[in-house]
A and B are shown apart, each in its own frame.
Chain A
Amino acid sequence: ECPGTGSAQAGRAAACQGCPNQGLCAAGAAGPDPAEAAELRARLRAVRHTVLVLSGKGGVGKSTFSALLAHGLAADETKQVALLDIDICGPSIPKMMGLEGEQVHQSGSGWSPVYVEENLGVMSVGFLLSSPDDAVIWRGPKKNGLIKQFLRDVDWGEVDYLIVDTPPGTSDEHLSIVQYLSATHIDGAVIVTTPQEVSLQDVRKEINFCRKVKLPIIGVVENMSGFVCPKCKNESQIFPPTTGGAEKMCQNLNVSFLGKVPLDPQIGKSCDRGQSFLAEAPESPATLSYRNIIQRIQEYCEQRRLQEEKIM
Chain B
Amino acid sequence: TLAERTNLAGVRHILLVLSGKGGVGKSTLSTELALALRSAGKRVGVLDVDLCGPSIPRMLRVQDSAVHQCDSGWVPVFVGQDKAIALMSIGFLLERPDDAVVWRGPKKNALIKQFVTDVAWGDLDFLIVDTPPGTSDEHISTVEALRPHQLLGAILVTTPQ
Contact = CB atoms under 8 A, between A and B. Distances in A.
A215 B135 CA distance: 27
Contacts of A194: 23
Interface stretch (A112-120, A154-162, A200-208): A200-208
Nearest to B113: A20
B105 A198 contact: no
Given A137-B136, A205-B101, A58 B22 contact: yes
Contact-residue bracket for chain A: 35 or more
A209 B137 CA distance: 20
Contacts of B107: 19-21
Given A58-B53, A169-B52, A208-B100, A201 B58 contact: yes
Interface in B112-161: 132-137, 139-140, 159, 161
B52 to A, nearest CB: 4
A200 to B, nearest CB: 10
Contact of A90 (B20, B51, B108): B20
Contact of B21 (A90, A171, A271): A90
A170 B135 contact: no
Contacts of B20: 89-90, 135
A206 B100 contact: yes
Contacts of A201: 53, 55, 58, 97
State which size class the interface on B falls in: 35 or more
Nearest to A143: B136
B105 A59 contact: no
Nearest to B52: A169
Which among A5, A30, A171, A172 has the highest number of chain B CB atoms within 10 Å?
A: A171
A24 interface: yes
B99 interface: yes
Interface of A: 5, 19-21, 24, 30, 56-60, 88-90, 135-141, 143, 167-172, 174-175, 194, 197-198, 201-202, 204-209, 212-213, 268, 271-272
Cβ-closest 4 pairs across A and B: A58-B22, A59-B23, A140-B105, A169-B52
30 contacts: A19-B107, A21-B107, A30-B104, A57-B23, A58-B23, A58-B24, A59-B23, A60-B23, A90-B22, A90-B133, A140-B104, A140-B137, A143-B136, A167-B133, A168-B23, A168-B52, A169-B133, A170-B101, A171-B51, A171-B103, A171-B104, A172-B105, A175-B102, A201-B53, A204-B97, A205-B52, A205-B53, A205-B98, A207-B98, A212-B102
